[in-house]
Structure 1
């Protein structure tokens, strides 16, 4: 049932309020005044005053969000949104187009800084194609993307060929200019790495040209969908744009260009929210949970139309792209929330997208298929981040209830420990070999996915318990619980991880455990990263190692650890969000 106990600020913004007193988490997160009280404020008149308050809140939200952006992005975003008050539609900082514009200039600038200083600026600005601007044929780059880059970036993503496999990606590469240009951008960079031409001025200029072309195509797509009145009725195009933003996010992270991660993630979260809510009736209350089936029905017929009696039906390319991209956005949002000490932006959608009431029916979004970790672990990490945000908010206003903190933390810990114990006791169920295994290269079956996913989930669950301990009890590396779970993570990664390159998919749990590791373990952790070659393909792990080494140095130097937490470690470079994904 709809609640009427929320703050007046959330009501006038038509947003869900968590009803936390004396100020709600939503208002705290946005840095705006939270109006509580039995009496309706005088500006809540349903007329001019109310509209004025809505505009004022929008301005406040935009200005506060602007101050949270890295310095290099503020001036560009400010100029892009200077006239936002005159624009119709959502809150300015919730507009993916404006947020994306802020990132574009920063990304291209950082690429210039990453390349040779003598890059030939006369190269084509990349206004259109892939082949001419990159110097390599599109077919070559796209095949490199499908055969080499995708398996490297997403090693756990191996959808069944009987359900279309990765054909949806090929479908979108052929039919969507925005997806194709983003793939060409990534492929041009990694192809230059494979050829060893990254130090060549001409080759780097071609990568820059391909990057500019990708941004230009994506910007035009955002402008086009906004010009047609928004998401409703254009869900297919919106899904393609979302997929492209997340691909650019992964490209940035592969380049160790973390300066742009926050802007890309903010844009992706805003766009996913608009997609999820596009299937709701106009008069629906904000707390109504979007039905993913309704959204999928708007994404068009499947790519393959099979006879109705066929036991397997292949979904449309856009439907699969939405599930895949949603998993990435939710994953990045959860990891970012641990560094920002805020509730995940998409927290209100977690239950509807990551859980299922019927065990035989999978959840709408399968994180395990994309990142290798089961939904329940990431769901609880999101809950820990929300708990940390609540704790910081209470401390800020001086009313932290430690008993309530422990009560909430106990529920999370019980869930994690029970599910982890069950996972450790059961044997992974492997599918019997069949025709598909015989069709694998050289007739060899692929690595056992069940074993890999079990290992990855255990690592994430142990790291989640370490994270929870720090949130509740502070920085206690000598705690028996913390030492046990740190030891578990190190043991799993040292003795059971295969191949070793999979470590790059677990940068966050690796960093969490490493920050609290004993001196005796620190050499092993350093060696695990330094043996991975080439180094520029494992940028997130090297960034994680930098964070860990900073913590280790502080510990050896007798630094004060009483005020330390994981968020401060993950933001060891000031306001920079180091997204360990």
Structure 2
């Protein structure tokens, strides 16, 4: 390798540099800031006293590392995997480039400069145990947790997600865990928490805080990868960007599951930014649908099964993009209701979710991942945009009441028209029997779920159009329909996928209907597994206990979803 391409540190130490960006493997293992030739030469590289001091510090750090390894060798457990060392005493496991393990929850893609070697040393010391190098064998405990995630937790979190076995099923998730330590860690955090709950061995507070700390530690090293991708261009890092989006959504879902609502806006903004950057990579077309399909086609090549089948299986990244995109769009829409803002991805909705070309097959299929038909979520996005426009006009004191009615009427017609067809498709399924049954996926119930969401959409539309009117006959009808539908299918795994419509209907319930919503949530036990549902009940109870006329006059769904200083995202 030409020395001119090596980083400054490796050149100074006369060591081979692997050229990983933004931090090479040797600097990653040593925990030092990494500078390449195109970067500014480090301040210490002055050819004099500072350079000699830095060389002495590097030698001292290497000796200290070797000493700690010798001292800790006697404490190796059965789950530890020995790592070979090179002549310098450094692990010879190939490093994983941060750009290939992208998953940082950050609200934007602004550049960040570590600044000093202390930054890198501190960062590495925090994350070295959390992120084993790619290619390192799993310990037995990790293997158990990974299988628990694939067999039980994933079906519980996403009961409608059943990719065809002919397309590889859920194998893409396992593949990404193997190749990406960050994806693996995001998955293991969730799995270890829920596994402890099932066994009844969890110290809930301690386990929650420890896992959230692990996620926090991961953010720093992952943000560097996003900064690197921003600087070098997303077009050359499509696979890394898709891993970013998948991992960000994993982190967000885990934090919401343990009722941490402080960071979801940051995570969502990051996922939305990555999604936008991906679509912007395609310069050959301006139409979002064509751009989306072009990205999907670029996330290959597909793998082939062994002969004689020769069947083509989509790449892990292609499957991940198809899985993560619906989650990003859903979260963006539900968040916009709580924030009274137009969805960040609103401009893409018609093209990616609607049948704008008359093919009947939009590129993103929400029902396959979250169980709700595209047209329902599409109209909730329209309601969010209408509410954002409504609030903007009220602030500017130029509201056009006729325009509000006109837009609301169009949305209502788009929701009501498909109702009868959905009602014909309802299916009745047996009820679960034990705690572990919570982790068993429910059979297809897309029609029922879509109906529940549609009724909640009409309730929220009414709030935008005429204000907070729980006693209105039409609102009362939709609230009772939500209760009837949820009682018709009291699957705990299914109910937790409908927390947002449950909460919307409950907030508009008249006093005599409150007991039904309490009963529905009380079936979701224990609260540690169904945290968002119990948070929804907390929101409802807060609304029910404040029915004073002056409060109701200014109430809307956004005020309901703000509780104890947090804006709650119920997904």
- Whether TM-score is above 0.5 comes out as yes
- The match for 1:95 among 106, 109, 112 is 109
Where does residue 546 of structure 1 map in the other structure? 538
The CA distance in 1 between the partners of 2:398 and 2:549, in whole Å, is 31
Output one character per residue of 1:455-500: Cα deviation in whole Å (capped at 9) or x when no partner: 1000000000000000000011111110110110011011x11423
Q: 2:291 matched to 1:291?
A: yes
CA contact (8 A) 1:343 1:389 kept: yes
The CA distance in 2 between the partners of 1:551 and 1:477, in whole Å, is 11
CA root-mean-square deviation: 3.1
Q: 2:425 matched to 1:414?
A: no
* 1:224 Cα deviation after fit: 4.1
Where does residue 378 of structure 2 map in the other structure? 379
CA contact (8 A) 1:394 1:400 kept: yes
CA contact (8 A) 1:172 1:180 kept: yes
The CA distance in 1 between the partners of 2:308 and 2:289, in whole Å, is 30
* 1:518 Cα deviation after fit: 1.5
Consecutive unaligned residues in structure 1, runs of 5 or more: 1-91, 99-121, 431-444
- Count residues with an aligned counterpart: 441
Cα 1:93–1:404 shift into 2, 3 Å: same
Q: How does 1:96-111 map to 2 (within 5 A)?
A: none
- The match for 2:235 among 232, 235, 250 is 232
Name which one, 1 or 2, has greater alpha-carbon Rg.
2
Where does residue 9 of structure 2 map in the other structure? none
Q: How does 1:7-156 map to 2 (within 5 A)?
A: 94-95=108-109, 126-129=129-132, 137-156=141-160
CA contact (8 A) 1:339 1:570 kept: yes
> Normalising to structure 2: TM-score of the pair?
0.71
CA contact (8 A) 2:289 2:352 kept: no
Where does residue 161 of structure 1 map in the other structure? 165
Q: How does 1:173-572 map to 2 (within 5 A)?
A: 173-199=177-203, 207=211, 210-211=214-215, 214-215=218-219, 218-227=222-231, 229-281=232-284, 290-304=290-304, 313-357=312-356, 361-424=360-423, 426-427=424-425, 448-449=443-444, 452-494=445-487, 496-555=488-547, 557=548, 559-572=550-563
Output one character per residue of 1:328-376: Cα deviation in whole Å (capped at 9) or x when no partner: 0000000000011111000001112112246655211111111111000
Cα 1:366–1:288 shift into 2, 3 Å: closer
Cα 1:163–1:546 shift into 2, 3 Å: same
Consecutive unaligned residues in structure 2, runs of 5 or more: 1-105, 113-124, 429-439
Output one character per residue of 1:203-225: Cα deviation in whole Å (capped at 9) or x when no partner: 67864675456445533532443
* 1:399 Cα deviation after fit: 0.9
* 1:147 Cα deviation after fit: 1.2
The CA distance in 1 between the partners of 2:409 and 2:283, in whole Å, is 35
- The match for 2:175 among 171, 178, 181 is 171
The CA distance in 2 between the partners of 1:265 and 1:547, in whole Å, is 22
Where does residue 4 of structure 1 map in the other structure? none
The CA distance in 1 between the partners of 2:108 and 2:126, in whole Å, is 35
Where does residue 94 of structure 2 map in the other structure? none
Output one character per residue of 1:492-550: Cα deviation in whole Å (capped at 9) or x when no partner: 011x1142332111111000000011111101211211232111111111111111111
CA contact (8 A) 1:125 1:209 kept: no
> Normalising to structure 1: TM-score of the pair?
0.70
The CA distance in 1 between the partners of 2:441 and 2:492, in whole Å, is 16
Cα 1:203–1:562 shift into 2, 3 Å: closer
Output one character per residue of 1:44-90: Cα deviation in whole Å (capped at 9) or x when no partner: xxxxxxxxxxxxxxxxxxxxxxxxxxxxxxxxxxxxxxxxxxxxxxx
Output one character per residue of 1:268-308: Cα deviation in whole Å (capped at 9) or x when no partner: 11111101111125xx76x7765222112221211336899
